[in-house]
Amino acid sequence: MKLNNGIEIPQIGLGTFMLEPHDAENSVKNALEIGYRLIDTANAYVNERAVGRAIKSSSVDRKDIFLSTKLWPSEYENENAIDETLERLGVDYIDLLFLHQPAGNYIKGYKMLEKAYEQGKIKAIGISNFEGKYIDEILDICKIEPQVIQVEAHPYFHQDDLRKITEKKDIKIMSWYPLGHGDSNLINEDVFKKLSEKYHKTKAQIILKWHINMGFIVIPGSKNVEHIKDNFDIFDFELTTDDMNLINSINKNKRYYIRTLEQLEHFANFKPHYESK
């Protein structure tokens, strides 16, 4: 997909949320061998060094890998945060750097991203979980508009309100919880059973293809190499307009994660314990 600054991003990638460093390293190595070229991590996942090792040891050229990570709120006032993130990853630049949460001094954090963008340390700017008033505020103060927003999105939650803004500004949505946080009710909806049989694909593959057709970037994570392979194997079939309408009919406007003000306060003060090696 082409971002609003002309840079291209793969539409499916590997997420590393909740992966311990050793599992993250193995998953990234396997994903790159399988053909993935988008890898997503974050300061708060505490696996950036492991992700960096996997990229460095890969036979894939760095220029062919699209690497995204996220600054944690306690880093928004740290002038060295981006250089420290680069050091942990062992890279000279980051393809897409997000602010992870709308907590702490995120205005200063955003200006830090803009400066890094102008310096060439990052190739694209992202905001993660900045919905509602938060994206409005960023768009009001920014000099450089964000290229990507990462938020919860799945067939039970289409981000309809957010998409009215992102489509106007050509900001791409990157989905987390793309399979509904593993909710069996979602995965076992009749529509996915029927389409799974129709296309000889798993229900998860049908859902991931839905994300692609919706124009979302999607980053399913796993430490199981077979799941990593299956998640990437979604480009040999096409969902029809009728298929998409059937899937869209199960939208419940239902989130699995509800963020509270107390959590935002905690995020602003919590400092990740980064890997020592």
Which helix (H) or strand (E) segment holds residue 149: the answer is: strand 148-152
> Distance between CA atoms of 187 and 179, rounded to whole angstroms?
7
Taking only Cα atoms into account, the Rg of the chain, rounded to an integer number of angstroms, comes to 18
Rounded to 5 degrees, φ, ψ at 204 are -65, -40
Q: How far is CA 185 from the centre of its chain?
A: 23
Which positions are catalytic? Answer: 45
3-state secondary structure of 68: strand
State the distance between the two ends of the chain, measured CA to CA, in whole angstroms.
Answer: 34
Residue with tokens 């609003």: 4
Q: Is the sign of the CA dihedral 162, 128, 210, 10 positive or negative? A: positive
3-state secondary structure of 66: strand
- How far is CA 169 from each of CA 8, 146, 207, rounded to the nearest angstrom? 16, 9, 26
